[in-house]
């Protein structure tokens, strides 16, 4: 019985740490509002200021 409880709580802890997100939007030139190609996009943690991930737009 204790093993089942430990496995259950272990599963809950592992699945709660896994998350997925998708950001969408348009990166435009501020002067003429044309789309910018191949712009570097970076996502930072707001509190720690650490880089989470980065991509190049298409």
Partnered with residue 35 across adjacent β-strands are: 28
pLDDT tens digits, one per residue of 6-52: 566 666 565 555 566 677 888 888 899 899 899 899 989 889 999 88
Beta strands in 1-58 (DSSP E): 40-44, 51-56
Rg (CA), the chain: 20
pLDDT at 26: 86
Residue 53 has pLDDT above 80, yes or no: yes
**Global confidence as pTM:** 0.53
Residue 1 has pLDDT above 50, yes or no: no
55 vs 3: which has the higher pLDDT? 55
């Amino acid at each position: 019985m204790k093993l089942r409880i430990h496995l259950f709580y272990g599963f809950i802890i592992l699945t709660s740490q896994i998350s997925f997100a998708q950001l969408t939007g348009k990166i435009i030139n501020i002067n003429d509002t044309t789309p910018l190609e191949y712009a570097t996009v970076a996502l930072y943690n707001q509190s720690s200021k650490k880089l989470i991930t980065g991509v190049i737009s298409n």
